[in-house]
Amino acid sequence: MGELLGLGLSHAGMFVYPDAEMVNILRRELERDTMPPELREVKNWPQPMQAEWGEDEGLSAARAHRDIVVNGFRQLREELDSFRPDFVLIWGDDQHENFKEDVVPPFCVYAYDQVECRPFRHGGPFRRTRNIWGYPDDGVVSVRGHRDASTYLAEQLLERDFDVAYAFRPHHHPGLAHAFINTVLYLDYDRQGFDYPVIPFHVNCYGSDFFRDRSGIEGYGRVPPSPKPRRCFDLGKAVAEIIQESPWRAALIGSSSWSHAFLTKKHHGLYPDVESDRQRLDDLKTGQHGGWRNLSRDTLVDAGQHEFLNWVCLAGAMSDRKAEVLAYGETWILNSDKAAAVFRP
């Protein structure tokens, strides 16, 4: 019988770059034409946000935030090494990377043998290519897959009426979308090596916001939504059951930050929904994560918690366990609140 370990963490790209560049994502949002002019002035921000910005424009806050979150990464790596899985499955999202206008599946199991990733080629919203590990811009990170387990999992999910897609090679992205490769990088933050086979499991978290900020897509009309939380929860539960009936030991990972500032429309993309994230944190600490099945899609979208669906898959897989929260980084200026948690056997 297979055994399971559950892990939850963030794949936020800011931790790839130096402290001074972490706040650049906020600076980018402040430059948007659609940002209300009054919100470009610090004096009009919520008081906790002003305090975090401080006298050094967020540099001290960035350092403290990294310390909290990276400490969580390191503790998760210890849990992973203690468990010694046969493979690591990562529920992660795609942001117009591997999936584009020609196909956007709700779920997709990647059955890769091996993939060469180059995650340092551009700085994205952080505007820099210099990374904290000193990799060259074209530096390669090789990730092994587990094709036997991937194809078995896709087959068994289809038998259980979960109509998942599967892929044997990349579509548009030559490596792995950042949700997956950043998860690998962060679980190997101290560069000790990461030889666990990885099964990337795509979840279309962005739904109707999938083409956010993409030009030239106006002619497509309405964009369909993401899967509902209850479907993600049930899929996670089914994945756990399938693996428990298999011969493999697996670590199941929900990878995402929680509320994202740039997705929180009611805040004009300036800061995340901190209060909603605090409620999710309380659910996790008190063992009430089973209730995430009953969250509405509209509730998550309103809070900018689109990517939280990855954690909902994990919650379904770990519905009979209680989590230990190892770290929680709350922030008003660094785009998203971030949690690290473990569900032990």
pLDDT of 214 over the 70 cut:
no
Is the per-residue pLDDT at 319 higher than 70?
yes
pLDDT at residue number 2? 80
The pLDDT tens digits of the residues spanning 78-98 come to 999 999 999 999 999 999 999
* Domain-wise residue ranges, the chain: 3-343
Nearest 5°: the CA angle 110, 114, 119 is 85
Average pLDDT of the chain, as a whole number: 95
Q: What is the CATH number of domain 3-343?
A: 3.40.830.10
pLDDT score, position 215: 53
- Residue-level pLDDT at 213: 62
Find, among 136, 341, 147, 132, the residue nearest to 253 by Cα: 341
- What whole-number percentage of the chain has pLDDT above 90? 91
Stretch 324-332: mean pLDDT: 98
State yes or no: pLDDT of 250 exceeds 80: yes
Q: Which of 10, 5, 118, 117 is nearest to 335 (CA)?
A: 10
Q: What is the pLDDT of residue 341?
A: 98
pLDDT for position 210: 83
pLDDT at 34 > cutoff 80:
yes
Mean pLDDT for the stretch of residues 120-128? 70
Whole-number pLDDT of residue 32: 92
| pLDDT bracket for residue 129 (50, 70, 90) | low
Q: Determine the pLDDT at residue 123.
A: 62
The predicted pLDDT at position 222 comes to 83
pTM of the predicted model as reported, rounded to 2 decimal places: 0.97
Instruction: Determine the average pLDDT of the residues in 28-35.
Output: 94
Does position 18 have pLDDT exceeding 60, yes or no? Answer: yes
Whether the per-residue pLDDT at 51 is higher than 80: the answer is yes
Residue 67 main-chain phi, psi, to 5 deg: -55, -45
* pLDDT > 60? residue 9: yes
- Least confident residue range of 54-58, 117-121, 183-187, 207-211: 207-211
DSSP string, 122-162: --GGG-----TT---TT--EEEE--HHHHHHHHHHHHHTT-
Planar angle of CA 253, 259, 265, nearest 5 degrees = 145
